[in-house]
Amino acid sequence: MKGNKLVLKDLPADSKWCDKDHVMLLACFQLLVDFVEKEKPQNIVDFVHDNNQRFQWKEIRALYKYWKKDRPFEEKQITKVRSRWHRSRKTRMEPFPGKNLIREIVLKEDRKAWNQLRKLEDHFEKKEEELLNRLISIRKHLWC
């Protein structure tokens, strides 16, 4: 945060539009990152006071680790598979009959890479959803 302004650092720079569900995900995790890195709660809050405090700190650290380390690694894996699938595709464009549209005809593609990509993306989206819900459930503990 800059003063009271939230600065979203992970918005796509080359895009003028970002779906609101993605903005929400980025904003929530940016709040967590700012809390951990700027407020440094481990220096202020006694997280070993009781079992609840220990659980909350463990959860904060797990979510932070996911966002800063695990998620970027998973994104790179998806990008590699997406690139492999995309390079394997051979297509041709042709007019859509009776309309002023063009459609893409797939002539060849790596179905194994496509199936792997779908599986990775589905897992990634489910994981994001799960961890966003976990973050929301501990939001009242993000204070110093």
What are the angstrom distances between the C-alpha of 43 and each of 36, 48, 54, 59, 103? 10, 12, 14, 17, 59
Query: What are the two backbone dihedrals, phi and then psi, of residue 88, each rounded to the nearest 5 degrees?
Result: -80, -15
Q: What mean pLDDT comes out for the span 17-39?
A: 91
Task: Give the β-pairing of 102-108 and 90-95.
Answer: antiparallel
- Which residues make beta-bridge pairs with 94? 103
What is the pLDDT confidence band of residue 44, given thresholds at 50, 70 and 90? confident
User: Residue 44, Cα to own-chain centre: how many angstroms?
Assistant: 29
Whether the CB-CB separation of 84 and 110 falls below 8 Å is answered with yes
The pLDDT value given to residue 17: 74
Does the pLDDT value for residue 43 go beyond 90? no
